[in-house]
Amino acid sequence: MKHSIWTKSVIFSIIIFASSFLSNCSENKASNQDRDAQLLAALASRPATVATTTSVSCSTANPAFSTLRDAGFNSSCGRSGCHDGTTRFNTTNVNQVKGFVTAGQPSSSTLYSIQNGGSMTVYTNTALSQAIFCWIQGGANN
């Protein structure tokens, strides 16, 4: 399949972003939070490739934010130096996490895209990916 130059540049940009994001995970600078928010906002405006969601079955129509914690969101993502609030958004802060989702639309949400087929895929598992999908699909409730 032929890819346009624009598609290749988007893929290249995502790879560069992901590598800089992962290599700087232990930095402790407040400016990283602003930079990450700007980069994620820019990426959110571009189409993302996400794994299919047809097999996701949500057992609760409107799951609470705590279902993410129960699925391992804080232990997988909120480790010291990553998303514990010191250098990037805090996975325990529902309002900060909601800044990366479009309620009711997992495939349009930066959080789901990055966790499920994006740069943070290596830190997730099926249960966490499903919990994120269902939480967003159910309205990203507190």
Per-residue pLDDT of the chain (142 residues; tens, 9 = 90+): 455 665 665 665 666 555 554 444 444 444 455 556 555 655 554 444 444 455 789 998 999 999 999 999 988 888 777 888 887 888 999 999 999 999 999 999 999 999 888 888 888 899 999 999 999 999 999 9
Other Cβ atoms closer than 10 A to 79: 14
Element (DSSP H or E) covering residue 134: helix 126-137
Per-residue pLDDT at 64:
96
pTM (two decimals): 0.62
